[in-house]
Homo-oligomer: A and B are copies of this chain.
Amino acid sequence: MRGVNKVILIGNLGRDPDVQFLEGNIAVAKFSLATTETFKDRAGKLISQTEWHTVVLWRGLAELAQKYLHKGSLVYIEGRLRTRSWEDKEGNKKFATEVVGDNLVMLDKRMDVNNGDHPVSHHHTTGPATTPTGAPHHGEGYAGLDIPPMSEPADDLPF
């Protein structure tokens, strides 16, 4: 390793992840992530600025994304920049810079603590078009899953 190429993002998914399976059953997930920063401009006025990133996850992380992430999810992504270039059908050179994620932390609050009900109501379904069908995003919550999102700790802190 002779250089460093590291990206750290915390933001919300703009859409449900798009997950595909390549040959060999290798999962690839792709989604847009919005990071919003607020700062003061030169005049001292508070400015809020949103930047959209394309995030790509592979294999196990892609499967996690498929299982647990959806539009609006808040995530921490650690990864690296990768710029791809190609020519479109008109022969124009195109570039796309993506963040290839090496690490993913789900920051949404665990919706159901101890009595996990109404998971659906937390999914912030945003319209009639949202996965009314087989997509197993709803009706389960994180209960019983191996890698639940972070949540407030129980009262067993050593202090």
Contacts and interface: CB of A to CB of B under 8 A. Distances in A.
Could you say which of A82, A119, A149, A150 has the most chain B C-beta atoms within 10 Å of its C-beta?
Answer: A150
Number of copies: 4
Interface residues of A, number: 85
Interface string A7-18: 111111011000
A132 interface: no
B70 A15 contact: no
A3 B110 contact: no
Interface string A75-94: 01010111100000010100
Nearest to A31: B159
Given A83-B97, A114-B128, A105 B67 contact: no
Contacts of A38: 1-2, 147
B3 A152 contact: no
Contacts of A8: 4, 6-8
Given A111-B130, A112-B128, A10 B150 contact: yes
5 contacts: A6-B78, A7-B7, A14-B157, A67-B158, A124-B152
